[in-house]
Structure 1
């Protein structure tokens, strides 16, 4: 089983890291090409595309302009949003990291598909952006490349299963593009009957951590997830969509 999570807008390039051996993103050349194209966009255009403040537009214009010289950090430790609060990668024991490298993936607007130890440079480029070189949307620019790489990872891992812990925006880069033989199980987190975005994002990270911490390789065993009061709700679940509630 390979679990897939979304990236985060918030980044952390300052917290000290444990001893690590970073890897190179498999789609690093594509990321560099996207960064070069984005570097040609005026700040005003970035502000409109990303719906961000002038200060953030300048920050990201600078990031794209200086992309090749920017510092690198393993992706699992670089993202710092709600999902990654739940994942809490900094507290994982050293023995968990190789398992995470084999069983956890992060979708990315810029890098396509990242492994936890892939060295990434700071950026902001959401998968739902209505811009890409010679395309109207970023998902169109990526085409089948992300899904093909994920499918290859699933085949190499051997289970034939993807645990979808990503947001709809990011799963759109994969949805309908995986081979027919790959099973996908999407997780729906609820507080009672309510969907609460903040809590659901954190819960996705907690489930990814639970998988890594306990070295869970079989998707059916994920029904045992019970962090922070969540429980599997059999009556509201089916073969490819499971509900967890608290």
Structure 2
């Protein structure tokens, strides 16, 4: 059976090293996105080479993040690293793609086929795609290109249509990256948006909230479980059942209106 397609956000944190050749935008997943990638890469490098204070403002960075500009200035020549190794942080630490590659090659092969990481600079990449370190949030508005999310909505809508023509889509993206591309209405009954809710007792009453650390950690563990377990659910209800079998506490909500995705809430406590 076909496994689920897993949509991930990138991470702000990225490994700084690399030994691969300079990035080739057309060699990444979905080569039809190369023109858009090159345009954004060129403008990002130009902005980052300009006045530092202006570049930091454009990119939504603080003065103590000025070092991030250095990577952007050398994008066309910088050494590359597989996306599986480039992206770091809580979600990717819990997903641990390098660990899968070393210890469970079959699960890593599934990751290559089933994971799409959304990126403000590259649009989407697969784990094996070789990319340099960079900093460009999907929420940024560049002086020439305009809102990055809008640029990618226009490019990704036709490019991703074949990828979501069949099978279940599990969306683990943050709102910033969900704005770059939305599941088409005709595929919405096969799409699930996963939310992670942190539950704790307040004066003996359960209270739920979204807490960044727990959200990212649980999503990383969930994506890993789907790959290791070779989950091949074909409906949102089957996915919820599979996640429960894998030890996750879930609550499923049907779409509020036609053409929108299902929602699965994963409820976690302080132990993740």
TM-score by length of 2: 0.76
| 1:162 equivalent among 169, 179, 192 | 169
> Which residue of 2 is the match for residue 186 of structure 1?
193
> Which residue of 2 is the match for residue 20 of structure 1?
none
4+ long deviations beyond 4 Å? 13-16, 226-229
Q: Distance in 2 between matches of 1:13 and 1:25?
A: 22
> Which residue of 2 is the match for residue 48 of structure 1?
57
- Contact 2:5–2:169, Cα closer than 8 Å, also in 1: yes
- Contact 2:117–2:126, Cα closer than 8 Å, also in 1: yes
Flag the structure with larger Rg.
2
More off after superposition, 91-100 vs 43-52: 43-52
Give the structure with the larger strand fraction. Answer: 2
Deviations 1:36-89 (A, max 9, x none): 1122222222211233233533x3333232211111111122100221022111
- Contact 2:18–2:79, Cα closer than 8 Å, also in 1: no
- Contact 2:69–2:135, Cα closer than 8 Å, also in 1: no
> Which residue of 2 is the match for residue 72 of structure 1?
80
Give 1:38-187 correspondences, 5 Å limit: 38-41=44-47, 42=50, 43-54=52-63, 56-57=65-66, 59-92=67-100, 93-131=104-142, 133-135=144-146, 137-155=147-165, 158-159=166-167, 161-175=168-182, 178-182=184-188, 183-187=190-194
Q: Which runs of 5+ in 2 are unaligned?
A: 20-26, 200-207, 256-261
Deviation at 1:14, TM superposition (A): 4.7
> Which residue of 2 is the match for residue 24 of structure 1?
28
> Which residue of 2 is the match for residue 225 of structure 1?
243
More off after superposition, 77-86 vs 26-35: 26-35
Q: Distance in 1 between matches of 2:29 and 2:192?
A: 25
1:11 and 2:7 matched: no
TM-score by length of 1: 0.84
Q: Distance in 2 between matches of 1:197 and 1:228?
A: 22
